[in-house]
Amino acid sequence: VAPNLRGTFGGLSSPVMIEHLKQLGVTTVELLPIHGFVDDRVLVEKKLSNYWGYNTLSFFAPEPRYSQDNPLDGFRTTVARLHDAGIEVMLDVVYNHTAEGNQMGPTLSFRGIDNASYYWLKPDNPRFYDDFTGCGNSVNLTHPRVLQMVMDSLRYWVEVCHVDGFRFDLATTLARGPNGFDRNAAFLTAIRQDPVLAAAKLVAEPWDLGMGGYQVGAFPSQWSEWNDKYRSAMRRYWSGEGSLIGEVSRRMTGSSDLFNHDGRSQRAGVNHVTVHDGFTLADLFSYNEKHNEGNGEENRDGSNDNHSNNCGHEGPTDDAAIVALRRQLRKNQLACLLLAQGLPLILAGDEVGNSQNGNNNAYCQDNEIGWVGWEGLNREGDDLTDFIGHMTNLRKRFPQIRSHHWLDGRRADGSYGVLWLTPSADEMKEQDWNFPEGRFLAYVLGPAEPGQAPIFIVLNAAPESIAFKLPKMPEYKSWQQVLNTVDVKQKIVNFASGSETSAAPRSVLAFAGSA
């Protein structure tokens, strides 16, 4: 990307960036907030800035610092170029709070217009804000004029800028009423009936910091939701924790325990291991502790619940064995993410080993800590672009991974949605699920349609090799290995049905059935 375009809308839609996205197999980019925002006073005093932009002031204007000239023209052009490349654009939008902060914050907009209407106030002391967001104030969408403003803003970005959808930051706040979260809240009802927004993709961050704020699985059927249960389970599993195969099996098959209701499909869950908030994938396997000293809060900010594993050394190292293990675990996480049913979300930069030096809350770091470092493109073993491209091709090849139908086991006619298998290729029984400290999981996803191939997936998070058998099925004479995360370059290997092989320590494998 040309130096003058870096950090701008034009940089995102530059030919080299689009080529990179296409190589990865990306179909949609989700941008952090691009609405006009201001820097918090407390950050300015520390000579820092609100790098992520979650401090919105203007809900109808793109942020000027992301453009060289006219911001609106620049953004609209970028959306058009991405669309020409077959890539959708979604916006992360912050309607849950504004840049005005708490009662000590500046009067910039809504506070001066109608403070009591735009914000939730403490009923017994309306000088203070009811803060469900942790940002000083909470926007009150139960008021019709406030709701109208948000709906007008959403329609503007769809109709004028042609964005394809939205990810709603702290979405629980948007659906709050006097008694907490309400699935029939005015905002959710307005979205459902709106002719412009009915076709937009809607993704909720389904929690806030208020009472009853955690609402994963509770949003209406037209919504998708960030699935933090997937993140937690897969982080724990690949960091070495045992006795998780039951949990992992649910997360790899769409999290039916969370989303199988009200006509929802696996696409209700947005699976992710890393996002902007938290460790990058490289840091997840390089640090056991957060290192947020640069944020000026004495390392108190950011989550302490990371389920990370530094593989034996905190931070960068030249130890070849540790470096190799970290790369292997990154590949395993990416492989699982793209083999799992549900919508996969990848953090930009994870494909090239981007690091934030252990900072898991880089919201105020507009510098080398927070920027995506592309140096990994030139480091042997760190550039996983081709690997992710291989995984997205597998995802296209096997439509059952992208299924809209919840899985079942053996059916009366002998067909199946999923078969859970022991290492000896027998169907799992209750005692197999309760295997002490179990770290091995193997299963077959049946063909989506007659004539299509099944896919046999093996996850081995154990620190040792585990021998296993390929499933013996009359209709499939052989199994073709289409993935082995231990391989530097993927090789096609054929195995006879019922034959034995082994899964290397901490590896993911996949096989296609062949008649």
Our answer to whether residue 449 is catalytic in this structure is no
φ, ψ of residue 237 in degrees (nearest 5): -65, -50
Confidence class for position 466, pLDDT limits 50, 70, 90:
very high
Tokens found for residue 332:
């395993």
Query: Would you tell me how many other CB atoms lie within 10 Å of the CB of residue 198?
Result: 11
**Range 126-137 average pLDDT:** 97
pLDDT at 378: 87
- Cα distances (angstroms) measured from residue 157 to each of 149, 189, 191, 217: 13, 19, 14, 27
Q: Which residue has the tokens 């394809």?
A: 164
269 forms beta bridges with 225
Residues 294 and 251: beta-carbon distance below 8 Å: no
Position 415 scores a pLDDT of: 84
Answer yes or no: is pLDDT of 145 > 90: yes
Check if the beta carbon of residue 79 is closer than 8 Å to that of residue 21. no
Which has the closest alpha carbon to 167: 176, 152, 180, 157? 157
List the 269-271 sheet strands across, edge first: 28-31, 88-93, 165-168, 201-204, 224-227, 269-271, 343-344
**DSSP for residue 474:** T
Question: Percent of the chain, pLDDT > 90?
Answer: 95
Position 380 scores a pLDDT of: 84
Q: Rounded mean pLDDT of 379-393?
A: 94
pLDDT at residue 460 greater than cutoff 90: yes
As a whole number of angstroms, the distance between CA 138 and CA 302 comes to 21
The number of beta carbons lying within 10 Å of the beta carbon of residue 378 is 9
Candidate list 63, 92, 100, 205, residue with the active-site label: 205
How high does pLDDT run on average in the chain? 96
* Mean pLDDT of the region 113-135: 97
The tens digit of pLDDT for each residue in 21-63 reads 999 999 999 999 999 999 999 999 999 999 999 999 999 999 9
CB 55 within 8 A of CB 37: yes
13 residue type, one letter: S
Across the range 377-389, mean pLDDT stands at: 92
Virtual CA dihedral for 204, 207, 213, 217, nearest 10 degrees?
A: 60
**The pLDDT of residue 451:** 86
- Tokens representing residue 173 in the block: 């706040």
205 is catalytic: yes
The C-alpha atoms of residue 398 and residue 406 are separated, in whole angstroms, by: 16
Question: How far apart (Å, rounded) are the C-alpha atoms in residues 498 and 509?
Answer: 16
Tell me the average pLDDT across 423-433: 96
Largest CA distance in the chain: 74
Kindly state the average pLDDT of the residues 212-240: 97
Say if CB 513 and CB 456 are below 8 A apart.
Answer: yes
- pLDDT tens across 290-325, in order? 999 999 999 999 999 999 999 999 999 999 999 999
Q: Is the pLDDT of residue 245 over 80?
A: yes
Q: How many CB atoms lie within 10 A of CB 144?
A: 11
pLDDT digits (tens, 9 = 90+) for 146-178: 999 999 999 999 999 999 999 999 999 999 999
Sign for the pseudo-dihedral over CA of 304, 309, 313, 318: negative
Give residue 450's pLDDT band: very low, low, confident or very high (50, 70, 90): confident
Q: What is the pLDDT of residues 209-218, one digit of tens each?
A: 999 999 999 9
Q: Find the length of the chain.
A: 515
Q: Determine the pLDDT at residue 112.
A: 97
Catalytic residue among 63, 100, 164, 169: 169
Residue 515: what pLDDT? 86
pLDDT at 200 over 80: yes
**Three state DSSP letters for 479-507:** EEEEEECCCCCCCCEEEECCCEEEECCCE
Q: How far is CA 74 from CA 20, 82, 219, 359, 402, in A?
A: 20, 12, 34, 31, 34
Which residues are bridge partners to 496 per DSSP?
A: 478
Angle at 267 between CA 263 and CA 272, to 5 degrees: 140
Q: Please name every residue paired with 512 in a beta bridge, in sequence order, or none if there are none.
A: 455, 480
> Would you say residue 261 has pLDDT above 90?
yes
| HSE-up of residue 399 (Cα within 13 Å, Cβ side) | 8
